[in-house]
Chain A
Amino acid sequence: MPYFFGCSYLDLIGYVLLFPIAGSVINGLLGKKLSKPVVGIIGCTAIGLAFILSFFVFIDLLHLAPEHRVFEKDYFTWIGSGSFESIAGLQVDPLSVVMIMMVSGVGFIIHVYSVGYMQDDDGFYRYFTYLNLFTFSMLLLVLANNFLLMFIGWEGVGLCSYLLIGYWFEKKSASSAGMKAFIVNRVGDFGFILGIMLIFVTFNTIDFTEVFQAAPEHLQMGGFVVTMITLLLFVGAIGKSAQIPLYTWLPDAMEGPTPVSALIHAATMVTAGVYMVVRCNVLYTLAPFSLTVVAVIGGVTALFAATIGLAQNDIKRVLAYSTVSQIGFMFLACGVGAYIAGIFHLVTHSFFKALLFLGAGSVIHGLGGEQDMRKMGGLKKYMPTTYKTFLIGTLAIAGIPPFAGFFSKDEVLLEAFTKGSLLIWGLGAFAALLTAFYMFRLLFMTFCGKSNMSKHAEAHVHESPMIILIPLLVLAFLSIGGGFIGFPTASAINSFLAPVIGGGHHGTVDGGSLHHVSAGMMFSMMGISTGIAIAGIFIAYLMYIKNPDLPAKIAKKFKLIYTIVYNKYYVDEIYDATIVNPTVKTSFILWRIVDVRIIDGFVNAIARIVELKGEVLKLFQTGYVRNYALSILLGGVIIIVCSLILL
């Protein structure tokens, strides 16, 4: 085992958190006085160091025997109250190591990209402060060894998401989008915290290891308590990971800067829900009903969001709906018990979706802020490198071998077929077809065909600088090679993550690996999913390259369906009508009547009564001493008379 000043890298796990928070504090306090390059270097170095250390931790963990690959480090007792004790501690196991490498690695690339992308922005230091703080929170979320600390990270990423969506807060739509994200997430977090409380009430501890060890003995399979716990936790995951019915905040979150969309709203934060479900796989395995709910919500979301993506024209919004859809795939995998496939897809998705977002950012940058795909087209010759990397990302998400998305998506579908039902598989497969279609629609509309740019944009369009292109190239490389960590299926990532599934040595549950699937089955499934992807691409080719008038014709023919899809099924409008507006109206009534009239009225009434009493009593205060003397005399006389009569 490699040692570092006498202790193993595992002992240094706290520094993975320390670097980003230090970067955030330095930039936050001093950033205003520092020059932009210095701020950028501090921000990137903090995350870069965290990544290097994460990598060494990973190497250290590999040196341990698979069944011993759990390392916990307790730092201090955070809350001690009666029988309740919460220790601030970190846990390193294969799952959290995969997550911290992904978060800090992709995070580092996006930090570097941001230096180029945000160059002209006045709030440069503020941006990096938030971004570092986000990375810290996300790392805390995945490293925590108990539910409460995880919840702190969970809230922290939510806060940073809010701050970064509303980064351009002078813009009304951006600040409203930030608030929307925060409030919708709050709904999910409410379920999450109830779930944590229920865990504490049931197990009298919130430590991961203790809970997962006690769970199989404490809880009966499919019992009410475990079902409630898992469903409540899943409500949190629905909010954070933008699944039906709480997905509406994610498309609006695209108001933030594009690198933020890449980091927070595609690669890392939104996958926190998937991580949490996988972390709690012991509990979920005990609750078959919850698993069905997870699978169905995941599958339905995957399909639903994909259909919305078909008709959107904003390049970032298409990617946002595709993110919602891809996370649906991950939940679908978790729901059928294929946790490792879910994490595998999470990792590859973070590569290619970050690539796609950054590519879109490069396009937006080159066009001076234009996001509408109808005003793009033909960019291939102006931005060749962006085009090539974007093409790789698109092939990866569509699921064309040998790109990363193929392996993970294929595995998800295979697991859905073997462990789930034909219906679940059908949902996933159809969503995959749509994914290939709308992603290539995006690619064709943006980079191919003839130019629809305005004169002004056409004069200025340019390829982005190297600091933007290099991150794209790195991510493109990862999108090509990233899939091979999971090839063939019973391989590196499976065996590495297997101890995490089923509570380590309690492992009575099948670890989600695919020993039982025959090679023939595997390859035919691969063939089918490749076929699906190619079909999607072919349809997109027919509609947007070969016959550019076709989409308009189809839209005309199925006007009703097109309008509904184009308007995102009116879900936002329905929420506005059923939830938002009634809440606003009720609040208005509460303000105008309950607060102003009743509560304020009550307080004012008391003051008024006191005042009136004063008006009466002040008549006795004449200010003439003789009047007081008279009352003293009268009082004396009355007392004497009374005592004479009584005695």
Chain B
Amino acid sequence: MIPLTWYLILSGILFSIGAVGVLIRRNAIVIFMCIELMLNAVNLAFITFSRQLNSMDGQIFVFFIMTVAAAEAAVGLAIIIAIYRNKATVNVDDINLMKW
């Protein structure tokens, strides 16, 4: 049997890739995908613990996260499309209305 640690390390690696992606990428779509990646890394950790502890709680959480992520994907993509229509770009450096 594959030890618990391996799953958690994989989860950690996936989360880190997602986090670094959010921080360093400029393309809004890529950033969005990286956020999804982070969510799924968390899902993996939940499933791992659920299996280990023989409890269904973790899996319930995962369902919730997936549902929310789906909704978030819809809203997020809509926002990105709206921005693209306005500015003809999805480069986050050009979307800088909050800068002083």
Contact = CB atoms under 8 A, between A and B. Distances in A.
B23 interface: yes
Contact of A630 (B23, B92, B98, B99): B23
A623 B96 contact: yes
Nearest to B20: A633
B22 A618 contact: no
B23 A633 contact: yes
A547 B94 CA distance: 106
Contacts of B93: 624
Interface string A315-352: 00000000000000000000000000000000000000
Interface in B74-100: 92-93, 96-100
B8 interface: no
B98 A629 contact: no
Contacts of B99: 622-624
Contacts of A626: 22-24, 92
Contacts of A623: 96-100
Given A625-B92, A626-B92, A618 B100 contact: yes
Interface in A94-143: none
Contacts of B100: 618, 621, 623
Given A621-B100, A623-B100, A624-B99, A633 B92 contact: no
Interface residues of A, number: 10
Interface string B26-51: 00000000000000000000000000
Contacts, number: 24
Contacts of B22: 626, 629
A276 to B, nearest CB: 70
Nearest to B26: A626
A621 B19 CA distance: 21
Nearest to A625: B92
Interface residues of B, number: 11
Contacts of B23: 626, 629-630, 633
Interface in A602-647: 618, 621-626, 629-630, 633
Contacts of B19: 633
A618 B24 CA distance: 23
A629 B23 CA distance: 7
Nearest to B99: A623
Contacts of B97: 623
Contacts of B24: 626
Contacts of B98: 623-625
A626 B93 CA distance: 10
Contacts of A621: 100
A190 B19 CA distance: 78
A8 to B, nearest CB: 83
B95 to A, nearest CB: 9
B94 to A, nearest CB: 12
A495 to B, nearest CB: 92
A622 B98 CA distance: 8
A624 B97 CA distance: 9
A625 B26 CA distance: 11
A621 B99 CA distance: 8
A465 B93 CA distance: 93
A629 B19 CA distance: 9
Nearest to B96: A623
Interface in A436-470: none
A623 B94 CA distance: 11
A448 to B, nearest CB: 89
Q: Sort A-B residue pairs by CB-CB distance and give the 6 closest, nearest first.
A: A623-B99, A623-B98, A626-B23, A630-B23, A629-B22, A633-B19
Given A624-B93, A625-B92, 10 more contacts: A622-B99, A623-B97, A623-B100, A624-B99, A626-B22, A626-B23, A626-B92, A630-B23, A633-B19, A633-B23
